[in-house]
Structure 1
Amino acid sequence: MPEGDTLHATALTLRALLAGRRLEAVDCELAAAEDWRLPGRVVERVEARGKNLLIHCAALEGAGVEQPGGLPVAIWTHMGMTGSWHSYRLGEPWQLPRERARIVLHTQRRVLPCFSPEALEFLGPRGLARHRVLATLGPDLLDPDADLDEAVARLRALGEVPLGDAIMRQSAVAGIGNVYKSELLFLAGRDPFAPVGALSPATLRALLERGRELMQANLASGRPRRTRAELGPSRGRYWVYERSGQPCRRCATLIRMRRQGALVRSTYFCPRCQDGGDSSS
């Protein structure tokens, strides 16, 4: 499941393969791909913003701003639950069916398809600044310059929204998905169903700092995501995620799963360990 660390890892990989290189060809059924005249453009940079990936392409060399290709463009993809970018050498077999690729970028040495993204758009400078998703994102936990105080303020403004729902709202803080939501709240001993506004600013900031530490550790490791790395692979990667009906690794109470929010996302928790503690602490 793509979360913030997944997208930042993908951005690192694509940056090494694309930055400074020319797009020789682009396969995409969207009419906008042809309108933007993507072949011939040079990729300037690749970045992740929360769960969003942006491939920034320069204007076509020699094209005026009033001509097709005369403005820079960003290729925006949101991976949703199952999307992914791949990279292959020329002639190398693909791991997934070609019909699932919404867009394929070709350079002189690599072929880079994006499979089953939830969203794909081409954004010029104005569209990038006004985008319905990007313009409203909260601070990205993996951004070194992320303003955690701003994220705390956005979370507290949600008031009675349950904590487990609130920290997954990308407009408050970007990057946390279902896995980190469940694991982070377990490690902090917090009730996912308590109102987020009941927690003090200091408590929420500590929660976000812990989440950032978990994501940074997984991003740096290059291994499959885990929150129990110190206990070794044979003991399981997670504390509660996808462990409904199994004993808590700390107290042996059975882990439970309930769904939350408008998207009815699953939340895994220990009823005994996550009593919430003192919300003013």
Structure 2
Amino acid sequence: MPEGDTVWMAAKRLDAALAGGTVTRSELRVPRLATADLRGRRVLGVAARGKHLLARLSGGLTLHSHLRMDGSWRVFAAGERWRGGPGHQIRAVLATEERVAVGYRLQVLDLLRTADEEGVVGHLGPDLLGADWDPDEALRRLLADPARPLGSALLDQRNLAGIGNVYMAELCFLARTTPWLPVGELNAPERLLTTAKRLLEANRERPDRTTTTPTTPGARGSRLHVYGRAGRPCLVCGAPVRHADESHGTPGRERPTYWCPGCQRGPAPSGGPRPGGGRRPAGGR
């Protein structure tokens, strides 16, 4: 599932391509919107809210989409061949005289009144990349259920918007705790939120997400500490990175979890570190 920085970048790309232009072609290829015609409307702008995309049009309409697991918006010059997948995967086409935006594999696509946007994004917590970012409110929401596992609390967009599975795993590693630690037991949770914002801001302008730094011990060009590195040695302590399937996230849409049993303290599935176990690497926080 795309993270908040990916959606922010998509919104920026769509806004640069469409904002200020007049829609000359519109196709919404989902049954309930098949008869909608947006031609003649001016594109006022495209914004991201957490992992949601909001394309605002004149006349008080908003085209709302969510990329979910593998959706994407591609932008092409007028007359350019579309590349992004087979035609049957296209769910939306929005074009001006100069640019064409094509939405592939969009599992969520709605047309609503701009005044009603809160109906689809009003439940979200403070947006890590938004003007509404409020660290105190995000902290309050994150700690509202102290017994909840940290990983699940971070993935819950009602607490703070923009963190996906990659950042969840990486943030837990940087906090030196496992994703199963009750969030109420986390030391300095405000520091975790500061790190989350710093990482998303650092990555929103670049295509290759990176959470390591040139000074990360043993990085050797690796961009991530633990995510996607199951069985490979931890960059810091050398212990094999562990992996658990479908352990965090919304019921029915759980995500795999990655962690280092040597660096991260706290509870973990069978075979992982004991609560309070593991050794703290040099320079750990």
Q: Percent identity?
A: 39
Q: 1:30 to 1:223 in 2, by over 3 A?
A: closer
2:76 aligned to which of 78, 88, 92:
88
Could you tell me whether the CA contact under 8 Å between 1:227 and 1:238 is conserved in 2?
A: yes
Q: For the residues of structure 1 that align with 2:116 and 2:30, how far apart are their CA atoms? A: 17
| Structure 2 residue 141 is the aligned partner of structure 1 residue 154 | yes
Could you tell me whether the CA contact under 8 Å between 1:80 and 1:117 is conserved in 2?
A: yes
What letter matches 2:27 in structure 1?
A: D
What letter matches 2:214 in structure 1?
A: E
Residue 269 (structure 1) shift: 0.5
Over the residues paired in the alignment, what is the CA RMSD in angstroms?
A: 2.1
Residue 21 (structure 1) shift: 0.8
- Structure 1 consecutive aligned stretches of length 4 or more whose deviation exceeds 6 Å: none
Residue 127 (structure 1) shift: 3.1
Gaps of 5+ in 2: 267-275, 277-284
| Structure 2 residue 196 is the aligned partner of structure 1 residue 207 | no
1:69 aligns with none
Q: For the residues of structure 1 that align with 2:256 and 2:180, how far apart are their CA atoms? A: 12
Question: 1:78-136 deviations in whole A, cap 9, x for unaligned?
Answer: 000100000111222222212111000111011110000121101114532323xx110
2:240 aligned to which of 231, 254, 258:
254
| Structure 2 residue 103 is the aligned partner of structure 1 residue 114 | yes
Could you tell me whether the CA contact under 8 Å between 1:32 and 1:122 is conserved in 2?
A: no
Question: 1:168-197 deviations in whole A, cap 9, x for unaligned?
Answer: 000111000011111111012122101112
Alignment of 1:220-231 (within 5 A): 220=205, 222-230=206-214
Q: What SS does the corresponding residue of 2:122 show, helix, strand or coil?
A: helix
Alignment of 1:64-79 (within 5 A): 72-79=60-67
Residue 143 (structure 1) shift: 1.5
Report the count of equivalent residues.
261
Q: Which has the higher helix share?
A: 1
Question: 1:217-256 deviations in whole A, cap 9, x for unaligned?
Answer: 1113x23111125369962211101111111111111111
What is the TM-score of this pair, normalised by structure 1?
0.87
Could you tell me whether the CA contact under 8 Å between 1:178 and 1:265 is conserved in 2?
A: yes
Q: What SS does the corresponding residue of 2:155 show, helix, strand or coil?
A: coil
Moved more, 22-31 or 41-50: 22-31
Could you tell me whether the CA contact under 8 Å between 1:36 and 1:73 is conserved in 2?
A: no
